[in-house]
Amino acid sequence: MTDQTKVTGVILAGGLARRMGLEQDKGLIMFRGQPMVTYALTAMKGVADCVVINANRNLEWYQRFGVPVISDETLTFDGPLAGILSVMNACDTEVLIVMPCDSPLIQSRHLEKLRQALIGSNYDVAVAHDGQRMHPVFLALKTQLAASLQLFLSEGQRKIDIWLRQHALVEVDFSGEPEVFCNINTVYELTHLENT
């Protein structure tokens, strides 16, 4: 039985980070003196009752941050939806809040805005929109969508925005501060953001 009031938060750190260079793990890369995942943990702990990290490598390192670490149910690095599904299947709350590990400017209030847009509504998903485009890995969604997601992935589908649009979706307006969705994919982006 799920808890109707509590929220699980997941930080997605399960990718290969190919653009960062060989063997890099973005959540563990230092940004302004701290591993990037620590910024996501701080933001998420201000909103979620239970916080987990989705990771597929360096599990021992991620476990040191003191929250559960959940890996994908497959070993094929199938993208953010695979991480979301593994956490959906492991948590016992009705709502899951999602963010990536590589966006250190996101704060609790941004995640709370997503949560508020979903809680008590008839929507299945609340996803961030910066006025120009949707940011599909910043979202709150109902965990009852797990069966739909399982089917989507079993059909070989991977695109998160396509799956999200299959459900009752509300786009949450962040056009006043689109810069908070800045994410770090390359060494250049890391250096640039550190210096701004």
Q: Average pLDDT of the chain?
A: 90
What is the arithmetic mean of pLDDT over 43-59? Answer: 96
What is the arithmetic mean of pLDDT over 135-152? Answer: 97
> Which pLDDT score, from 0 to 100, does residue 26 have?
86
> Which pLDDT score, from 0 to 100, does residue 191 have?
79
> Which pLDDT score, from 0 to 100, does residue 4 have?
53
pLDDT band at 186 (very low <50, low <70, confident <90, very high): confident
Whether the per-residue pLDDT at 25 is higher than 90: the answer is no
pLDDT band at 16 (very low <50, low <70, confident <90, very high): low
| Cα distances (Å, whole numbers) of residue 53 to 41, 57, 100, 137, 165 | 9, 11, 10, 14, 25
Better-predicted residue by pLDDT, 13 or 25 = 13
Question: pLDDT tens digits for 75-116?
Answer: 777 889 999 999 999 999 999 999 999 999 999 999 999 999
CA 134, 3, 12, 174 torsion: positive or negative?
Answer: positive
> Which pLDDT score, from 0 to 100, does residue 23 have?
56
The residues with which 162 forms a beta bridge, in sequence order, are none
Provide the whole-model pTM: 0.91
* pLDDT > 70 fraction of the chain, expressed in percent and rounded: 92
Nearest one of 46, 44, 68, 43 to 55, comparing CA atoms = 68
